[in-house]
Amino acid sequence: MRTRRAFREAVETIVLVAVTLILAFIVAPRVFSTDVPLAVVASYSMEPALRLGDLIVVNGAKTPSVGDVIVYVSPTSGLIVHRVIKVQETLRGTEFITKGDANLAPDAEPVPAQRVKGRVDIVIPYIGVVRLAFERLLQGLRGF
């Protein structure tokens, strides 16, 4: 009897997790107006505000301003999480000058508004460590 109950509870838990994940990946992009509603901090460049492994919730509905932490796509490095230190209007449109809090200098290139995925609205400390560990394990296995 106990094994049936434990089995039923395990199945219910798996179904609940699956439904939650499906909702997160279908609903979250619409709610937060971005195709990157969740991300994991993968470097130390934003210490101490953001730490390696922090899960961040990204909101693409509002235009970032000076002081906001944004997520943007770098042509060479993938997703970057840095703070806006200046907003400028150019012939190409709105551009953001960004800098990691732990970095000595601003990023080399301005970030066009089209590459910004959104600003960081919520930080959940260290929840993303599991994802980073899994990704690094996979990268290590690919090296063999």
Work out the average pLDDT over 81-108.
Answer: 97
| Secondary structure element (H or E) that encloses residue 27, with its range | helix 2-31
More confident residue, 17 or 102: 102
Residue 39 pairs in a beta bridge with 56
Work out the average pLDDT over 68-94.
Answer: 95
Confidence of residue 38 (pLDDT cuts 50, 70, 90): confident
Look at residue 95 and give its three-state secondary structure. Answer: strand
Confidence of residue 85 (pLDDT cuts 50, 70, 90): very high
User: What residue ranges do the domains of the chain occupy?
Assistant: 1-31, 34-142
Q: What's domain 34-142's superfamily in CATH?
A: Umud Fragment, subunit A (2.10.109.10)
More confident residue, 48 or 14: 48
pLDDT, one tens digit per residue, over 43-69 is 999 999 999 999 898 999 888 999 999
